Amino acid sequence: MQYTKLGNSGLTISLLSMGAMNTSSAGEKLKIFDCAYESGVNYFDTADVYENGESEIFLGKFLSSKERSKLIIGSKAFFKKGDSVLEKGLSRKNIIHSVNTSLSRLNTDYLDIFYCHRYDDSTPAEETITTIQNLINNGKILYWGISSFSAYQLCEFYFKARELGCDLPIAGQYAYNLFNDDIKNLKETISKLNIGIIGYYPLSQGILSGKYNTKSIDRESRASNEFLKQKMWDFNEEKLNKAKEFSNLAKKLNYSPSALALKWCLSNSIVSSVLSDVSKIEQLVENLGFLSINMNQELTTEIESLFK
């Protein structure tokens, strides 16, 4: 595995990370996480709302057989979790309740990284930041970050934290893949503030792996579930055809499409790690192939010309 420093911190993170959003087949997922751990992956990501808390419980079981000091665990809070109007947002009450609940589910004393899952325009930034700082002071959080904030929102939180003398955010999670280059407009801001990007959906929810085509759908894939398919942003004929072109290019170079797509993401200087959420060990092995790819300018240009 290869590693880098995450943003403006001393935290060393693996270039490939594991997401625990989907843990329905917990037994198989545990084997995948064990394989990732043995391969050198040290960052594992979840959130308080994933699978109504089952994701954190699963990750807690995984942690129980590992040395905690060798792992980076991240979780998030913002989205509504129950019937109460209090169980959402970035208020002091919800953050404290969420972090305490996450720690209990994960069976750990601290989160390495706590993320504001989305921007909350109903809570003052000062309230959110001072709450996070108190949790850091109490040892329940080590670092913090944001997810899917605009450049303005990120700057608001960053400079408010600096004004208050609080710890600064070190990481930002953003959807990032060959179809979705939203962080392009954030690159200058992120570089100036030295925020490390952790990209999610690097394979565009599996589309860039080359496993989908316009004529048939694998019964074991997420696209075979109509509910999950509706959440796949790029599942349309035009993008499936584009993914097929990309897959052909990768295979011509003797690379797996998944590995090449991940390597393209990681060639961006502001990207510290990409989140992989696979359902089979074979897919994880394919993804790890990014380690042997040399992404030169000629290859980068050839890939990006397909997605103009």
**Is 217 a member of any domain?**
no
Q: What is the pTM of this model?
A: 0.91
pLDDT confidence of residue 5: 97
Over residues 88-112, mean pLDDT: 97
Banded model confidence at residue 213, pLDDT cuts 50, 70, 90: low
**Is 213 a member of any domain?**
no
User: Whole-number mean pLDDT of the chain?
Assistant: 91
**Is 51 a member of any domain?**
yes
Number of domains in the chain: 1
Q: Which domain holds residue 174?
A: 3-205+256-295
pLDDT confidence of residue 217: 54
pLDDT at 264 over 50: yes
Over residues 60-77, mean pLDDT: 96
pLDDT confidence of residue 222: 47
**Is 219 a member of any domain?**
no
pLDDT tens track for 129-165: 999 999 999 999 999 999 999 999 999 999 999 999 9
pLDDT tens track for 215-254: 455 545 444 444 444 445 555 678 888 999 999 999 999 9
Listed in sequence order, the residues at least 6 apart from 120 whose beta carbon sits closer than 8 Å to its beta carbon are: 78, 89, 90, 91, 128
Banded model confidence at residue 112, pLDDT cuts 50, 70, 90: very high
Question: For residues 214 and 245, is the Cβ–Cβ distance under 8 A?
Answer: no
CA nearest neighbour of 220 among 139, 137, 270, 282: 282
**Is 236 a member of any domain?**
no
**Is 222 a member of any domain?**
no
User: What whole-number percentage of the chain has pLDDT above 90?
Assistant: 78
Question: For residues 24 and 277, is the Cβ–Cβ distance under 8 A?
Answer: no
Distance from the first to the final alpha carbon of the chain: 31
pLDDT confidence of residue 131: 98
Over residues 288-293, mean pLDDT: 95
**Is 173 a member of any domain?**
yes
Range with the lowest mean pLDDT among 27-31, 104-108, 221-225, 288-292? 221-225
Whole-angstrom Cα distance, residue 208 to residue 270? 21
Banded model confidence at residue 275, pLDDT cuts 50, 70, 90: very high
pLDDT confidence of residue 226: 47
pLDDT at 263 over 60: yes
**Is 233 a member of any domain?**
no
Q: Phi and psi (nearest 5°) for 177?
A: -165, 180
CA nearest neighbour of 198 among 33, 27, 40, 41: 41
Question: For residues 82 and 74, is the Cβ–Cβ distance under 8 A?
Answer: no
Active-site amino acid positions: 50
Which CATH number belongs to the domain containing residue 158 in this structure? 3.20.20.100
Whole-angstrom Cα distance, residue 29 to residue 32? 5
pLDDT confidence of residue 84: 87
